Amino acid sequence: MQTVNLARLTRRLALPVLLALAGTACASDLGSPSRAIHPMDFIGQDFNLQIEKTQGPAASSYPNQGAIVRRMLAHGQWSSQGAGGPNHREAAGTSQWRRSGTGEWVEISTETSTIAPGGPASSVLTYTFDGPSHGRWSWNINHGQALLSGSFTTAPSKPSAEQVLAPVTNAGLHVPLIIKSAVSTDLPAGSFPAAGLVLQSYAADGTLSFQGFGPGTINSKGSYTYKRLSANTAVEETLQTSDFFTLPYTMVYTFKTANSGVWYQNFANGLIRFSGTFDTFAR
């Protein structure tokens, strides 16, 4: 009669269950409070950082609008790129992670890039998850010399075809923008649109037209560039010309479906900050 090693049998029976549970946990959303998150869960994710506020004595040396995408790689490595406004650069480095509260993670980052030398000597990024794949972020550079902050989303670094939501170009599209919020610290209320709809129509030659509907909106034209940064994030830079002004803006599109999402616009280098929802359809 063969003797059964009870401990070995228990381990064998438990292993498939543990693997199944681990697989389920890894497939869950990063910000879910119902499970423990390990920094390894961030590997293969793009953190799309929408820049909404900058301050500090050295802030002018860093991006003040647009978006930065930090790609989390294996072995504590990361790479990044950005678009929209000045001072964006490609970079790479290493990170150490720690959890500082429910839904909050701190990334202590060291840049090792030789792509564009001169990066920050000290970086501490804090991500506060408000939901499964989005939240607020802040970046403390060189012990407060520059402080950047805004909202973020996560998306797969190597998405399937179904996970790629942002188009490679917006040429040939109509994009109706619903204005949900408009804020200016320099202009009086009523001097710029605080609600309404703007239909933006993009041509393949890099030009676009604007049709405004609602109080304070106007018709105008412009020229644009567009760059997809990740599976769900793209940045547009436009020079808008009307009968009253010629001014630039930077717009970040965050796609929630293949033809809709939310937008954030830094108009005239921070003169007005607009945000709202959008849809897209072919011209």
What average pLDDT does this structure show over 252-268?
98
| Every domain of the chain and the residues it spans | 39-158, 173-282
- For residue range 88-128, list pLDDT tens digits in order: 999 999 999 999 888 899 999 998 875 555 566 679 999 99
Confidence (pLDDT) at 122: 76
Position 2 pLDDT exceeds 50: no
What average pLDDT does this structure show over 4-22?
38
Q: Which fold has domain 39-158?
A: Lipocalin (2.40.128)
Spell out a b/e string for 41-79, using b for 16 or more CB atoms within 10 Å of the CB, else e. Answer: bbbebbbbbbbbebebeebebbbbbbbbbbbbbeebebb
Q: Provide the token pair at 239.
A: 């020079």
- For residue range 40-77, list pLDDT tens digits in order: 889 999 999 999 999 999 999 999 999 999 999 999 99
All residues at 6 or more sequence positions from 119 whose CB lies less than 8 Å from its CB, including other chains: 89, 91, 93, 111, 113
- For residue range 167-202, list pLDDT tens digits in order: 999 999 999 999 999 999 999 999 999 999 999 999
**Which residues are 207's β-sheet partners?**
223
- Would you say the CATH fold of 173-282 matches that of 39-158? yes
CATH of 173-282, one of 2.40.30, 2.40.170, 2.40.128, 1.20.1740: 2.40.128
DSSP 3-state of 111: strand
Q: Provide the token pair at 252.
A: 């970040």
**Which residues are 250's β-sheet partners?**
237, 266
DSSP 3-state of 172: coil
